[in-house]
Amino acid sequence: MLDLKKIEAAINQISAEKKIEKNKLVEIIEQAIKTAYKKDYASKDTNVEVSLDLPNNAIEITVEKEVVDVVENPYTQIALKDLWDAASGFSIWDMVEIDVTDEILENEEWFWRIASQAARQVIIQKIQESEKEKIYNLFKDKVWEIVNLKIELVEKNKILLDYNWNTIVLPKSEQVAKDKYVPGQRIYVYVWKVEEDTLTGPKVTLTRKDKNFVVKLFEMNCPELEEGSVEIVRIVRNPGFKTKIIVGSEYEEIDPAGSLIGPKWIRVKAVVDELFGEKVDIINYTDDIKELIKKSLSPAQVMDVKIDEENRHATCYVLDEEKLKALGKWWANVWLASELTGYKITVVSPEMN
């Protein structure tokens, strides 16, 4: 007799480890057996029912067929004469359930091979769906926030992170190339998107590249931002290289940049450490656009700025020894300054004036 205790033991183990209800797993296996039977014993049109009674070590497999005079499709039809003793209870065109359990269990090896393979595939799929749903529920109220997670494993194209004993992926596309990730280390990530995709299921996207990740790090370290006495007017970022921020305040007694920097640079240092050394330039807002553009090219010292308002263009004059600082590696500093101020910036030497 077929021993279903192995299946019951597997269900108990999976249920405990993956937090999936036992009855859901039973339904998955029943569906897997249906699929296997249709493939090897019947056809896709066959109506098969499977009932697993694990406590009583019992299984029942039935096939629904239509009673006919002449059978054209043996998978969906049965002749009245073939019902034997039961024939008197049925008429032509009636639907009858045929018990095929014994037929299947005669080939116990086939049953275990096909059923276990199909069940394994479906269980893996259902576990993945269940874990996606679980991760979605964990993060759905944290969109646009940062969370602190532990690195479980570093692979070539992804980092596996632990959140409340659940694994979530930080993909290569959302990592900063300059950052160094080590198993056991704790890092902050920004919850960028939490969405329900009708094709792929629930999806959570974490990132360390978005500029708002830096905003949230400063909010965590600067109470003035959280309470609203200081605000970030604009922020631009080249992940791994530099972030530039304009800050302002309605209160004259407050130094906005000083609030983000903190006493002895402690606040900005905490953010820079989390960004693995990424430079952060913090600029106080001013209505004087020339002064704002000068500051945006930090750390370079700008001698003068000429503005072409019609074309939103600024020509910045710097000494030759300051030009490399103004431009930055691969022109990244001047590009960030342009993004920050909204002016196309050209850096020239004084003698070119």
Q: Across residues 5-18, what is the average pLDDT?
A: 81
| C-alpha distance from residue 252 to each of 181, 249, 259, 268 (Å) | 42, 7, 13, 22
CATH code at 140-207: 2.40.50.140
pLDDT for 250? 95
Cβ-Cβ contacts under 8 Å for 34 (sequence gap 6 or more)? 48, 49, 50
Going by the DSSP 8-state scheme, the letter that residue 101 receives in this structure is: H
Binning pLDDT at 50, 70 and 90, where does residue 353 land? very low
Helix, coil or strand: residue 91? coil
Sign of the CA dihedral running 61, 66, 68, 74: negative
Strand intervals (E) in 139-251: 146-154, 158-163, 166-171, 186-197, 201-207, 231-238, 242-248
Domain ranges across the chain: 5-128, 140-207, 223-285, 287-353
Q: Coil, strand or helix: which one is 301?
A: coil
CA–CA gap between residue 9 and residue 20 (Å, rounded):
14
Superfamily, domain 223-285:
K homology (KH) domain (3.30.300.20)
Average pLDDT over residues 9-27: 82
Domains 223-285 and 287-353 share a fold: yes
Q: Per CATH, is 5-128 categorized as 3.30.1480.10?
A: yes
pLDDT tens string 129-181: 888 888 999 999 999 999 999 999 999 889 999 998 889 999 999 999 999 99
Which residues contact residue 107 at a Cβ distance below 8 angstroms, ignoring those fewer than 6 apart?
Answer: none
**pLDDT per residue over 105-136, tens digit each?**
777 777 677 666 766 776 677 778 888 888 99
What is the arithmetic mean of pLDDT over 331-337?
96
301: pLDDT strictly greater than 60: yes
Mean pLDDT of 274-289: 97
Q: Is the pLDDT of residue 295 over 50?
A: yes
288-325 residues labelled b (16+ CB within 10 A) or e (exposed): eeeebbbbbbbebebeebeeeeeeeebbbbbeeebeee
Architecture of the domain defined by 287-353: 2-Layer Sandwich (3.30)
Element (H, E) at 79: strand 77-79
| pLDDT tens figures, 187-229 | 999 999 999 887 778 899 999 999 999 999 999 999 999 899 9
- What is residue 199's predicted lDDT score, i.e. its pLDDT? 78
